[in-house]
């Protein structure tokens, strides 16, 4: 198999469409991808399916959430609580997930709206120890990179290959790990400034030569990313 070098920083739904169109074999992502498939008129079990990565020991759970903070007028608080009760109602939750493409947050929803992908997820959530918190919701000081560590052999910005080795630091994080952890970037100049700052740290630590740092900054200014 051959991976696409154009995947870096590409919108996840654009990557989903490469699988739908037959340009890619598969995508490793969340179950919300199903909404794109359904929007394209595809059916679970016929046109596509869902599996856990072989060897999966647990799944990371990420949900969209609403906060009720209190400190408001009683009628407003009542409205907020009514809204919350509606959102988590099993029938409403199943209907919403059916159209959105994700899996319900409750495991006791009506089964008439569930498909094979939903059942896979909900069965996993019912298994003791099979689900873990997403790093987004853990208030600790551990460093992590969203989804996966960036282990590309060369530093690539979008579709721009700099030719500079993507060396790891003493903590195992690569230059790209550290760079993307500074995102999101509001615009191209902000991205270039982040590359300047990260490459300065890498240069001071002896992980980049002066010429390599100069190359990274130059190529960052030339990089083209999907809009």
Length of the chain: 227
Choose among 80, 33, 73, 28: nearest CA to 52: 28
Choose among 165, 178, 179, 171: nearest CA to 207: 165
Distance CA 204, CA 207 (A): 8
**What is the 8-class DSSP label of residue 52?**
P
Is residue 196's pLDDT more than 80?
yes
Q: What is the mean pLDDT of the chain?
A: 83
Is residue 1's pLDDT more than 60?
no
What average pLDDT does this structure show over 170-194?
85
Question: In the chain, where are the structural domains located?
Answer: 5-49, 52-142, 154-222
Which tops the pLDDT comparison, 48 or 30?
48
User: Long-range contact list for 31-34, CB < 8 A, 24+ apart?
Assistant: 31/101, 31/102, 31/103, 31/117, 31/118, 31/121, 32/100, 32/101, 32/102, 33/101, 34/101, 34/102, 34/115, 34/117
Is residue 143's pLDDT more than 60?
no
Q: 17: helix, coil or strand?
A: helix
What average pLDDT does this structure show over 113-128?
87
Report residue 145's pLDDT band, with 50, 70 and 90 as the boundaries.
very low
Is residue 213's pLDDT more than 90?
yes
What average pLDDT does this structure show over 35-40?
88
Distance CA 118, CA 134 (A): 19
pTM score, whole prediction: 0.54
Tens of pLDDT, residue by residue over 17-34, are 999 999 889 888 888 888
Choose among 71, 59, 63: nearest CA to 93: 63
58 neighbors 125 (Cβ within 8 angstroms) = no
Tens of pLDDT, residue by residue over 52-110, are 988 888 888 777 777 787 788 999 999 999 999 998 899 998 888 888 878 888 888 88
Distance CA 195, CA 115 (A): 44
Distance CA 67, CA 84 (A): 9
Q: CB under 8 Å to 55, separation ≥6 — which residues?
A: none
H or E element at residue 38: helix 34-39
Distance CA 86, CA 210 (A): 59
Report residue 144's pLDDT band, with 50, 70 and 90 as the boundaries.
very low
Report residue 13's pLDDT band, with 50, 70 and 90 as the boundaries.
confident
Beta strands per DSSP E along the chain: 59-61, 131-133, 154-157, 160-165
């Amino acid at each position: 198999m051959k991976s696409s070098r154009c995947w870096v920083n590409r919108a996840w739904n654009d990557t989903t469409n490469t699988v739908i169109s037959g340009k890619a074999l598969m995508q490793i992502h969340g179950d919300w991808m199903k909404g794109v498939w359904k929007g394209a008129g595809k059916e679970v079990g016929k046109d596509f399916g869902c599996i856990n990565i072989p060897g999966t020991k647990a799944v990371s759970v990420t949900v969209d959430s609403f906060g009720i903070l209190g400190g408001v007028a009683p009628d407003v608080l009542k409205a907020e609580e009514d809204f919350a009760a509606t959102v988590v109602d099993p029938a409403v939750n199943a209907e919403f997930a059916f159209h959105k493409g994700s899996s319900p947050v409750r495991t006791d929803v009506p089964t008439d709206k569930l498909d094979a992908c939903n059942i896979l997820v909900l069965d996993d959530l019912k298994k003791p120890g099979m689900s873990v918190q997403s790093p987004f919701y853990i208030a600790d000081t551990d460093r992590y990179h969203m989804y996966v560590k960036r282990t590309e052999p060369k530093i690539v910005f979008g579709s721009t290959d700099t030719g500079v080795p993507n060396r790891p630091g003493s903590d195992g994080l690569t230059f790209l790990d550290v760079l993307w952890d500074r995102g999101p970037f509001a615009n191209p100049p902000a991205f270039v400034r982040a590359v300047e700052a990260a490459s300065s740290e890498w240069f001071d630590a002896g992980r980049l030569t002066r010429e390599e740092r100069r190359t990274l900054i130059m190529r960052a200014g030339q990089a083209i990313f999907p809009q």
